Chain A
Amino acid sequence: DAGVTQSPTHLIKTRGQQVTLRCSPKSGHDTVSWYQQALGQGPQFIFQYYEEEERQRGNFPDRFSGHQFPNYSSELNVNALLLGDSALYLCASSFVRAEGYTFGSGTRLTVV
């Protein structure tokens, strides 16, 4: 049973560029949440997708956007990259809210 898969694993982008990160949820999961984790910090909630719609959003600017596809996979897009966007981006999937989330291995984004 495949867990949560994220791609790419690592990414280096230049300030001002745009990036797309991808996530496939665990089999049977229909909800995808995205988190940003800076070094030495806890994961910060970006947004959650369910039934192809953004259901909840954290305190992130509109430069961060997302999408969920009919097969429950999801993308995170970040426009106009800033140096401060350098972080580990984690995708987590779930089915029943109370069960907790299953995390992917993350995408390490470096903005130079």
Chain B
Amino acid sequence: QKEVEQNSGPLSVPEGAIASLNCTYSDRGSQSFFWYRQYSGKSPELIMSIYSNGDKEDGRFTAQLNKASQYVSLLIRDSQPSDSATYLCAVGNNNDMRFGAGTRLTVKP
């Protein structure tokens, strides 16, 4: 079982729709959870962090965490073509951070 699993996609949504990205993790002791966005040929950039169960909203982005289910999600409202990228789920535990393989999102105009 992979430490961090994501639907590889690709996920395609029309402009203005809600994009839903999902992630599960295997280590119940994980303490911190992150979503990174990576444009093609670029390095990952942090867009959201969440540490406790529930929802966390930042502009058009909402991260959701359910530790009992070992599940993290990211919702992108009013998706824009500029949101087209690979979204990486990352899980932190003590001294390292492990990443999923990423979900490729395409927002069609």
Contact = CB atoms under 8 A, between A and B. Distances in A.
Nearest to B32: A98
A29 B44 CA distance: 18
A76 interface: no
B94 interface: yes
Label chain B's interface by main secondary structure: strand
A105 interface: yes
Interface residues of A, number: 25
Interface size class of B (residues with CB under 8 A): 20 to 34
A88 to B, nearest CB: 8
Contact of A45 (B45, B46, B96): B96
Contact of B44 (A48, A90, A97, A98): A90
Interface in A91-112: 92, 97-106
A45 B32 contact: no
Contacts, number: 59
A97 B44 CA distance: 17
A48 B95 contact: yes
Identify which of B4, B6, B44, B99 gathers the most chain A CB atoms within 10 Å of its CB: B44
A45 B99 CA distance: 8
A55 B95 CA distance: 7
Given A41-B101, A45-B97, A56-B94, A100 B43 contact: no
14 contacts: A42-B102, A43-B88, A48-B96, A56-B94, A58-B96, A90-B43, A97-B32, A98-B31, A99-B49, A100-B34, A100-B46, A100-B92, A102-B46, A105-B42
Given A42-B99, A100-B49, 18 more contacts: A35-B99, A41-B101, A41-B102, A42-B88, A43-B44, A45-B97, A48-B95, A56-B96, A58-B96, A97-B32, A98-B31, A100-B90, A100-B92, A100-B97, A101-B97, A103-B45, A105-B42, A106-B43
Interface of B: 4, 6, 31-32, 34, 42-46, 49, 51, 88, 90, 92, 94-102
